[in-house]
Structure 1
Amino acid sequence: MDHYAIIVYWSDEDALWIAEAPDLKPCAAHGATPEEAVAELRVAMEGWLEAARANNFPIPEPRYQPRVEAAE
């Protein structure tokens, strides 16, 4: 699970942080802080992978390379 990229961004519309795993569509979570959003996403990712395995769905290979970007 640690090899999947995670995207974290602020949502003005929702007024909270969103974390997404783009390889595991649709797998996202939110939180009051970036760290909380990522922690919640890790729980969601575990559930996503467990459900895929239980239903014999293919587990995607990681496609996205993690990187850090900041907008000012």
Structure 2
Amino acid sequence: MNSHYTIIIQWSDEDECFVVSLPEWGEFCHTHGDTYEEALKNAQEVLEMLIESSLEDGQPLPEPQTLGKPLKVA
């Protein structure tokens, strides 16, 4: 599934893993991985589930953030 949503991957000393934020989906939408690659794979899987779930429920998808365009969070 091709999407243009933001994936932020950062190392967490506290959690000792890479923590992923998906900002268009809200401040509490996170996943993680022991490696950068695993964190990215998990993020892509979560995004697919979020998109599919929203579409199935008839909910609008959040507007993707693009370079130079500020993020709008509902």
TM-score of the two chains, using structure 1 as the length reference: 0.78
Match of 1:12 in 2: 13
Q: List, as ranges, runs of 4+ consecutive aligned residues in structure 1 with deviation greater than 6 Å.
A: none
Show structure 2 runs of 5+ residues with no match.
Answer: 68-74
Identity of aligned residues (%): 35
Instruction: Give yes or no for contact 1:7–1:19 (8 Å, CA) kept in 2.
Output: yes
1:64 deviates by 4.4
| Amino acid in the other structure paired with 1:38 | L
**Residue 49 to residue 58, structure 1, CA distance change in 2 (3 Å):** same
1:27 deviates by 2.9
1:2 deviates by 3.3
Other structure's SS at 2:59 match: coil
Match of 2:65 in 1: 63
Taking the aligned partners of 1:33 and 1:64, their CA distance within structure 2 comes to 26
Taking the aligned partners of 1:6 and 1:52, their CA distance within structure 2 comes to 18
Other structure's SS at 1:48 match: helix
Taking the aligned partners of 1:57 and 1:27, their CA distance within structure 2 comes to 17
Q: Name the count of aligned residue pairs.
A: 65
